[in-house]
């Protein structure tokens, strides 16, 4: 896949070289990556209101574009990532984010020190998911919220007990995610899912039933993408995805809000 220099959104520094694609994160500014970027971006956009005026920790902030979006509305944003390269990148590209390096199994924050923890497309990479959720509960103030998203195991790795993605340790369905949250001490306030809207449903039909499979096939082939597929993927918008509580087992990704009592 090609890479490009991109300019961060409002509040970012001048153009900064993008982080390399590793399979563990998505980054903005790469046309062939645009579908996955927009699919991840929907959770930030739709749940941003829960961060307004609050102290927010993004646990597993990756490239940092999401933490920078949160900084548009939050009183303070703390980013945390284990990868030193990602930490330095965020510090250079998104100066509004207070960036820390650390392990998600032991969050380097005091008890009851933040209002919101954001964890999007990360928990599926963790070996001890229960420990991480207990840590989220610990650092949240009473009444605080955990905003979390993760691929839906049913649709992401259909018919398998182990994830298709080699970087994933354990994928979850909606019931399994809710069970983990409750066991950690959270109250599940919302469990919803990401679905294709009408434009993406039409692209699914155009590309033999799945625009996702069409992209994966070309990526695995290691050959240039057909120009029409590249154009369709580059044109995908945030608005082409929908969040819905209906038919959650058919959703692409799970998005949940969990509260600390």
Query: What confidence tens digit (pLDDT) does each residue in 130-179 have?
Result: 999 999 999 999 999 999 999 999 998 776 777 676 778 789 999 999 99
Query: What confidence tens digit (pLDDT) does each residue in 107-116 have?
Result: 999 999 999 9
| Cβ–Cβ < 8 Å for 131, 103 | no
Question: Which sign does the torsion angle of CA 197, 199, 205, 211 carry?
Answer: negative
Average pLDDT over every residue of 101-125: 96
- Length of the chain equals 261
**Angle, CA 44 vertex, CA 168 and CA 108 arms, to 5°:** 65
Calculate the dihedral angle through the C-alpha atoms of 138, 142, 143, 148, rounding to the nearest 10 degrees. -10
How many percent of the chain have pLDDT more than 70?
90
**7 has pLDDT over 90:** no
Burial of 198 (0-12, 13-18, 19+ CB in 10 A): exposed
Chain centroid to CA 24: 10
Q: Which domains does the chain have, with CATH numbers?
A: 31-195+241-260 (3.40.50.150)
pLDDT for res 27: 80
pLDDT for res 5: 30
Query: Can you give the pTM of this predicted structure?
Result: 0.90
Query: What confidence tens digit (pLDDT) does each residue in 250-260 have?
Result: 999 999 999 99
State whether residue 15 is helix, strand or coil: coil
Query: What confidence tens digit (pLDDT) does each residue in 167-196 have?
Result: 787 899 999 999 999 999 999 999 999 999
């Amino acid at each position: 896949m090609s890479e490009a220099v991109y300019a961060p959104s409002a509040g970012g520094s001048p153009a900064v070289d993008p982080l390399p694609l590793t399979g563990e994160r998505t980054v903005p500014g790469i046309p062939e990556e645009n579908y996955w970027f927009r699919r991840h971006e929907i959770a930030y956009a739709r749940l941003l209101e829960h961060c307004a005026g609050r102290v927010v920790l993004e646990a597993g902030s990756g490239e940092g574009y999401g933490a920078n979006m949160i900084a548009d509305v939050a009183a303070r944003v703390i980013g945390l990532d284990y990868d030193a390269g990602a930490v330095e990148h965020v510090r250079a590209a998104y100066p509004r984010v207070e960036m820390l390096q650390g392990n998600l199994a032991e969050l380097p924050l005091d008890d009851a020190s933040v209002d919101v923890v954001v964890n999007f497309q990360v928990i599926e990479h963790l070996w001890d998911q229960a420990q991480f959720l207990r840590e989220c509960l610990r650092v949240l103030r009473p009444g605080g919220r955990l905003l979390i998203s993760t691929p839906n195991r049913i649709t992401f790795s259909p018919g398998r007990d182990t994830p298709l993605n080699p970087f994933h340790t354990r994928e979850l369905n909606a019931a399994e995610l809710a069970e983990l949250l409750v066991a950690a001490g959270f109250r599940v306030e919302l469990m919803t899912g990401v679905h294709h809207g009408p434009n993406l449903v039409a692209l699914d039909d155009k590309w033999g039933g799945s625009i996702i499979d069409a992209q994966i096939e070309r990526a695995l082939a290691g050959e240039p993408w057909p120009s029409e597929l590249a154009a369709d993927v580059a044109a995908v918008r945030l608005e082409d995805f929908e969040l819905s509580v209906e038919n959650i087992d058919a959703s692409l990704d799970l998005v949940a809000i969990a509260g600390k009592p």
